[in-house]
């Protein structure tokens, strides 16, 4: 028999209320050695993800490693968006081995996690594989991660995907949270973030609005 299609979104799509975003080790020392993505793009994508999460009121945990003694402060593109959010500083490379950070994640009460940060092969692989083993569903924002080489980043992504993680991109994250342009309460916020941080897509929105007063809805 033919399948009867229904206009219901798939359960694998993320929504603002079904996950916790964990932004990991977006710090100067980690960025200096990152070669798989240039620093400007990385900072832009981190800002896009943070702005999307803040705008859609996503449960968010921010964590750093050896902030005061070695790695430096978290990117201002993130902390400016979350000025009141506690930073969980760790000694462990694997976020999942830090009791305070894991307690904060657990306290959010979500069994779906979205991860991004530096470096992909160490500070993202560790919590991703650990969380999956404990029953969490894990997504990784690939272009808001970086590593010491393209090879290191790509093999880390392969390893996480093979373990069951789902890859996505920063712009995809924003648009998946919006999902429908008829959601007028977040329309201006979403297009505003895209215009500022969405690269060529953002330029297209600006052009369409200014030249034709176009509107996605």
Question: CB under 8 Å to 53, separation ≥6 — which residues?
Answer: 21, 60, 81
60-88: b (≥16 Cβ within 10 Å) or e: bbbbbbbbeeebbebbebbbebbeeeebb
Catalytic residue, from 46, 81, 123, 197: name it: 123
CB-neighbour burial class of residue 58 (10 A; exposed 0-12, middle 13-18, buried 19+):
buried
E-strand spans in the chain? Answer: 20-24, 59-65, 87-90, 112-118, 137-146, 166-168
Residue 116 annotated in active site: no
What would the two tokens of residue 137 be? Answer: 């569903």
How far is Cα 44 from Cα 24, in angstroms, rounded to an integer?
Answer: 15
Catalytic residues, by residue number, are 123
């Amino acid at each position: 028999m033919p399948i009867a299609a229904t206009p219901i979104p798939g359960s694998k799509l993320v929504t603002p209320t079904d996950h916790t975003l964990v932004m990991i080790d977006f710090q100067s020392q980690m960025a200096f050695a990152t070669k798989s993505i240039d620093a400007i793009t990385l900072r832009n994508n981190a800002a896009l993800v943070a702005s999307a999460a803040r705008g859609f009121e996503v449960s968010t945990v921010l964590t750093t490693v050896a902030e005061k003694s070695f790695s430096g402060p978290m990117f201002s593109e993130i902390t400016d968006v979350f000025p009141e959010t506690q930073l969980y500083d760790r000694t462990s490379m694997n976020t999942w081995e830090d009791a305070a950070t894991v307690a904060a994640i657990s306290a959010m009460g979500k069994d779906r996690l979205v991860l991004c940060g530096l470096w992909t092969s160490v500070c993202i692989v560790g919590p991703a594989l650990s969380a999956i083993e404990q029953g969490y569903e894990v997504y990784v924002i690939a272009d808001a991660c970086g590593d010491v080489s393209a090879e290191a980043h790509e093999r880390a992504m392969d390893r996480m995907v093979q373990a069951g993680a789902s890859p996505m991109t920063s712009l995809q994250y924003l648009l998946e949270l919006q999902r429908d342009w008829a959601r007028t309460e977040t329309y201006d916020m979403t297009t505003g973030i895209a215009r500022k941080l969405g690269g060529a897509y953002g330029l297209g929105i600006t052009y369409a609005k200014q030249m034709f007063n176009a509107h996605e809805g």
